[in-house]
Amino acid sequence: MGQQLATMPMLSTAEWRAVSVAFNDAADVRCGVSGQPGKLSRIFSALTGIEPKRPLADARLEALRGFVCQTRTTRKEAAELVPTLIEQGFNRAQIQALALLAA
């Protein structure tokens, strides 16, 4: 039983919130996060009221958001983002569970 608990893909409350944000972003087809908005982006925002997505404050949560959003949008695992998730401390079980949930 202890071995099974160690491999369960657990996420924190904040991580589940990032997953929720990613699902909302994917529904809006707005997974990309822009850095500093350019002049055209600011004009577009002023005219339409649509703001560009900003990165989440925490790099770990932003990596999670990006992976889930891209996986949800394309309906296949965002394999190119897996190394970033691993660098941020996510394990393979968590990544696989997130890919299954989002696809």
Q: What is the pLDDT of residues 34-90, one digit of tens each?
A: 555 667 767 777 787 767 677 888 999 999 999 999 999 999 999 999 999 999 999
Q: How many domains does the chain have?
A: 1
In a domain, 4, yes or no: no
In this prediction, residue 38 carries a pLDDT of 67
Domain that holds residue 41: 13-102
Is 2 within the bounds of a domain?
Answer: no
Is 29 a domain residue? yes
Within a domain: residue 76? yes
pLDDT at 4: 47
Q: Quick check: is 19 in a domain? A: yes
Q: 3 lies in a domain?
A: no
Cβ contacts of residue 84 below 8 Å, gap of 6+?
63, 66, 67
Please indicate, yes or no, if residue 6 is contained in any of the structural domains.
no
Q: Long-range contacts: 27-32, Cβ < 8 Å, 24+?
A: 29/73, 31/66, 31/69, 31/70, 31/73
Q: What is the pLDDT of residue 75?
A: 92
**28 compared with 97, residue with greater pLDDT:** 97
Is 45 domain-assigned?
yes
**Residues 57 and 63 sit within 8 Å (Cβ to Cβ):** no
